[in-house]
Amino acid sequence: MQLLEERHSQLNQECDRLSNIVGLGPTEQQQLKLLKVQKLKCRDAIAELRRENTEVFPDLQPANDPVNW
């Protein structure tokens, strides 16, 4: 899951970078569109893993949850 989260972060940064460019050409617009789709698929995969983990381990809390500190 950590790899998916890192990939999502990278895709998000790349989307932000391209979105801030004024006057994107058709190639860059298409690239931005594809990056956004990849980012959404990555987000969906993360959500699915979290759902699966919750179903298998309902009492499991995320490691960064302050309740577990």
Question: Which residue spans within 1-69 are E strands per DSSP?
Answer: none
pLDDT for the residue numbered 3:
94
Q: Domain segments of the chain: what residues?
A: 2-68
pTM for the predicted model, two decimal places: 0.74
Give the position of tokens 């690239």: 31
Q: How confident is the model at residue 69 (pLDDT cuts 50, 70, 90)?
A: very low
What whole-number distance in Å separates Cα of residue 36 and Cα of residue 32? 6
> What is the model's pLDDT at position 63?
62
pLDDT digits (tens, 9 = 90+) for 13-60: 999 999 999 999 999 999 999 999 999 999 999 999 998 888 766 666
Nearest-Å Rg of the Cα atoms of the chain is: 16
Q: Which H or E run contains 2?
A: helix 2-19
**For 21, which DSSP code?**
S
